[in-house]
Structure 1
Amino acid sequence: MSAVPRPITSRIAAGLAVALLAGCSAVAPRPSTAPQAPGEQRPSEAPAAPSGRLKPMPLRTFTVATECRFRDETGNSGKATVDVFNSKVRALNVELTMPKRGSCRYDLANFHQTQALPSVELEGPRDCRVRLWEQGEQITVAFAGCHTMCSPSSAQDYVWPLLIDKNTGKCD
């Protein structure tokens, strides 16, 4: 076995170093020459926030009261009674049915409220959590780790969050 002459080895090493450095360099994007539609802004022309910084969302309570029923296009159905006043849960009773998967029932009697801001959190048996938060004109009710509330327990794996329209009280 013969050794590679030193000059070739150093040339290969130098070539690899140049290739690695070239791969790490950034190339500035070229400005688009395509015609611009009326009212369209290019990313570099987007207006900056007045202060130049994003501001955190203010912490505020929410209120919602509804009794609703839904059925989606996959056949999942449910009914819910939700009453929250200033982020304090006064009533929660949700029944969800997923055909061929099972059903889940969440009742406030099985939970205690542990948090009100920035979102409402209810804690139940065996690390079951129900979280409620306001998102635009909707209230989201999400369920996590609540296998004991479902029959069979694997039905929890198919539960989606419940969305409540604040203005109409409809849910899906």
Structure 2
Amino acid sequence: MRSRLLILVTAAWLAACATPPKAPEPVVEAPPTPAVEEAPKFKNSTLKYLANRKLKPQPTRPLNVRSRCSHSDAIGTVTRLNMLVKEAEVKSFDAQVSMKGHGVCRFNMKDFKQDAKLPQVLLRHKQENDCTVRMWEQGHNVTIAFNSCHKSCDGKAFDYLWPVVVDARNGRCH
């Protein structure tokens, strides 16, 4: 037992006298090398597909569309539209969208003033500054989108309002 105690005391004494290990030397980083531009690496397969296509931007040109249409979809939304836009100047605009069970939204040119022609037609409500209607062309379709126009709708109908799409070739809405 005494020899064990002597061994433990000696081991403790030697451990107390030991020097701590040296701190690691700081790593010196090499100066950055000039960046070489390489093709972007896409993780998403859709982006990879788009990167290999020769996509061109939509041309910016004055919008020309005439439509007098009515459309109802499978869930009971009924759209009625009468509009004429010549050289990005809105001549007439009257839209009514009824959402079954939610109410009706009404938009009429007399309540709006035109703020922009290009790159998109922009109509701003005369009383509600936040309420805007934008129109733009995508291929053969013209999209009409409504933003912050809650007061142009009954109840919460605006929460269910989607953009109206018109085929510029024949004026049909869908």
- TM-score greater than 0.5 by the shorter chain: yes
Q: How does 1:22-171 map to 2 (within 5 A)?
A: 46=52, 56-124=57-125, 125-126=127-128, 127-152=130-155, 154-171=156-173
Gaps of 5+ in 1: 1-5, 11-28, 30-41
Q: 1:128 & 1:57 partners in 2: Cα distance?
A: 26
Shift of 1:55: 6.2
Greater Rg, structure 1 or structure 2? 2
Q: 1:96 & 1:59 partners in 2: Cα distance?
A: 29
Q: CA offsets per residue over residues 32-73 of structure 1, 9 Å max, x none?
A: xxxxxxxxxx97xx47x6xxxx76544211211110000011
Q: CA offsets per residue over residues 102-146 of structure 1, 9 Å max, x none?
A: 110000000000000000000003211000000100000000111
The alignment of Structure 1 onto Structure 2 pairs a total of residues equal to 133
How large is the RMSD of aligned CA atoms in angstroms? Answer: 2.9
Give the TM-score normalised by structure 2. 0.67
User: Does the residue aligned with 1:151 lie in a helix, a strand or coil?
Assistant: coil
Q: 1:55 & 1:66 partners in 2: Cα distance?
A: 27
Give the TM-score normalised by structure 1. 0.68
Gaps of 5+ in 2: 1-19, 25-40, 42-47
Q: 1:66 & 1:128 partners in 2: Cα distance?
A: 22
Stretch moving more, 72-81 or 108-117: 72-81
